[in-house]
Amino acid sequence: MAEPERPARGPTAAAVAPVVPLRPLTTATLGQHGSRLTVPTYDRAALVPAVVHLSVGGFSRAHQLTYFDEIAERRLSSGWGVVGVGLRHRLLQEALAPQDNLYTVVERSPDGERARVVGVLTDYLFAPDDPAAVLDRLADPRTRLVTMTITGAGYLLDPATGAFTPDDDVRQDLTRPAAPRTVFGFLVEALDRRRRAGTPPFTVVSCDNLHRNGDATRAAVVGFAARRDEVLARWITDRVAFPSSMVDRITPQTTPEERAAVARRYGVDDRWPVVTEPFSQWVVEDTFCNGRPPLDRVGVRFVRDVTEHELMKTRLLNATHSALGYLGTLAGHERIDELVADPVFAGYATALMDDEVTPLIPCPEGIDLDEYKATLLQRFANPAIADRLSRLCRRGSTKLPHHLLPSLRQALEEGRPHALLTLAVAGWVRYLQRTDDAGRPLPVEDDRGPVLQSLALAGGSDPRPLLGDTSVFGDLGTVPGFADELEGVLRRLERDGLRATVASTVAATVAARPAAPVVPVLPADAR
C-alpha cells in the first residue's frame, strides 16, 4: 500500500460561509478564528525551540512545520518548537512578524478544502540582518535538529566527483567565520562552537529533492569544515548525523489572488498563507545524534535506508513533473490539471511511468507501485491546486540531472525502451529555445539559463552543443547513438509539431509492449 495521507484537522470548506468579517492573525485573535478554521490549542509559550529550519519557504511551511505542529497539537511533546531562518529574502519575515509567526495552511482537493493555523514556528530570523543571532540559536544546547530546503544547486557539489566546490560566498565565510552568509558557513561555525563548549551536535536533515540528500549534506558540511580545520572536520564526521530523507507535497507558490480568496472564505488577514494538497509524505532514515522527535506518531516513516523511496519519488513524480512541464508548456498549456485532462498527455505520463521508469526502480517495502502511480495522476489532475507548469519548468539544469537523466542513462546502458524519456529531453531543448509551438515567447527561470539557451539556439535541431555541457549531461552526449536519436526527435518536433509527436511516440511505445502470455484453458476432465 502507498503511504497513507495524514487526515487534515478542522472544518471543511463546505462548513464555512463564503464571506466572513476580516480579522488579523495574531496570538490575541486566535480565539476569533476557531469557528472557521483549526487553530492551535496548545500553549505556544511552552514550546522548546529545538528545531531550526534553514531557508523557510512555502514548501517547508506546508510540509515539515505541519508535522511538528501536529506533535504539539496532539500533546505528544512540547519539546520540538521550530525557529525559521531566512537566508536571502526578508519578505517572509515582514509577513510573519506582525502575526506572531502564525500562518494559515489551506489543503485543497476536488471535494473541498480544510484550513488550519500553524503555531509551531516560535521565531523567525533573517540571517543577513543578524548572523550572530542565527549562530547563537544554532549553538544553543536546546537546538537538537536542523532541517533545510536550499534546492539542489545550493550544495555546491561537483557533479562528476561529488566533491564540495566553494564559490565566492563560501570563500568569504572561510575568512569571516563569525559572520557567515551561506548555509554551510552557519552550520560549520555553530558546530565548532558546540564542539568547543562540549555541547552535543545537532542532527542535520536535508529536505531537498537530491539523491542521497543526507550524504550530499555531509559532503558539503565536512568539505567546508576541512577547509577550516581538519580536527573539526573529523569531529563532524564522527559525531554529526546526516540522515537522508524523502519529502513529497505539491505546494504551488501563493499568489495575491490566493491570499485574497483565503481572506474572503475564512476571514483571516494572513499576509502569506500557504495553499497545498491533502497528500503529504515524509520518509527519514532513522539516524539521529541528539534525540529523535516523535514524527513517526504523526505520519512520518522512519526507515533504515531511504534510497528506494527516494528513487520512487524523484524518478516517477519529479521526472514526470519536469517532462510534463516542458512538453505541456510547448503545447500551450498553463496548468498541469488541464494538461492531464488531455488524453494525449495523460497517456504520455502513464506510459512514461509504466513502460520506461518503473522497470528501472526497486519497489520500496510496503508500497504498491501501481497504486502510487495512480495516486500521482490523481494529484496532478487536482483542479483545486491548479499547479502551474511554469513552476515545474524552473531550474531545469538542476532538476533534470537529478530526476530524469538517471533513468535515461540507465535505460541506455541496459538497452531498455527510452523514447519517452528522450522526448522529455527534447522538450527541454525546445523550451530553452524560448518559443512554444505557436511561436509565443517562453521565460527561462534557471541560474544557468543564458549559457544553456545560447547552446540550444546555436545547435537548432542539432543537440550536440548542448549535450556537450557536462555539468548537466555528464557523459550522456558521448553514448553511441544517443545524440542522433535526440536530433531525430527534435526534427520530428519541427516537422510534425509537439502534440502529434507526443501522440505518435506514445502509440509506438504502447504497441511495443510485450503481449500478455496466453494461458491455455484445459477441458474439465484434464484438470
DSSP secondary structure, 424-487, as one string: HHHHHHHHHTTB-TTS-B-----TTHHHHHHHHHHHTT--HHHHT-HHHHTTGGGSTTHHHHHH
Is the separation of the CB atoms in 423 and 505 below 8 Å? Answer: yes
Going by C-alpha positions, the residue among 44, 71, 133, 152 that lies closest to residue 406 is 152
Q: Which three cell numbers stand for residue 396?
A: 531545469
59-63, 257-261, 472-476, 512-516: least confident range: 512-516
Say if strands 121-126 and 81-86 run parallel, antiparallel, or are unpaired: parallel
User: Cα separation of 134 and 190, whole Å?
Assistant: 9
What pLDDT is attached to residue 508?
97
Nearest to 58 by CA among 322, 246, 258, 275: 275
> Is the separation of the CB atoms in 191 and 204 below 8 Å?
no
pLDDT-derived band at 15 (thresholds 50, 70, 90) equals very low
Q: Rounded distance, CA 397 to CA 447, Å?
A: 8
| CA dihedral sign of residues 439, 443, 446, 448 | positive
Handedness of CA 92, 98, 100, 102 (dihedral sign): negative
DSSP 474-497: TTGGGSTTHHHHHHHHHHHHHHH-
Residue by residue, DSSP assigns 319-350 as HHHHHHHHHHHHTT--BHHHHHTSHHHHHHHH
As given in the structure block, the three cell numbers for residue 323 are 517532462
The residue with cell 545524440 is 483
Percent of the chain with pLDDT over 70: 94
Strands 145-148 and 203-206: parallel
- Taken in order of first residue, the domains within the chain and their CATH numbers are 13-275+282-303 (3.40.50.720), 307-511 (1.10.1040.10)
pLDDT of 9 reads 46
Q: What percent of the chain has pLDDT over 90?
A: 89
Residue 42 and residue 96: Cα distance in Å, rounded? 19
pLDDT tens per residue across span 405-423: 999 999 999 999 999 999 9
pLDDT at 80: 98
pLDDT tens digits along 322-367: 999 999 999 999 999 999 999 999 999 999 999 999 999 999 999 9
pLDDT at 520 over 70: no
Asked if pLDDT for residue 524 goes beyond 70, the answer is no
| Model confidence at 149: pLDDT above 50 | yes
> Mean pLDDT throughout 178-194?
97
| Per-residue cell: 450 | 543564458
Total Cβ atoms within 10 A of residue 526: 6
For 28-67, what is each residue's pLDDT tens digit?
A: 999 999 889 999 999 999 999 999 999 999 999 999 999 9
Give the residue among 108, 133, 113 at the shortest CA–CA distance from 123.
Answer: 133
Model pTM score? 0.90
At 89-128, the pLDDT tens digits run 899 999 999 999 999 999 999 999 999 999 999 999 999 9
Residue 307: the pLDDT is 96
Report yes or no: 184 and 224 within 8 Å, Cβ to Cβ: yes
What is the arithmetic mean of pLDDT over 145-164? 91
**First vs last Cα of the chain: how many Å apart?**
35
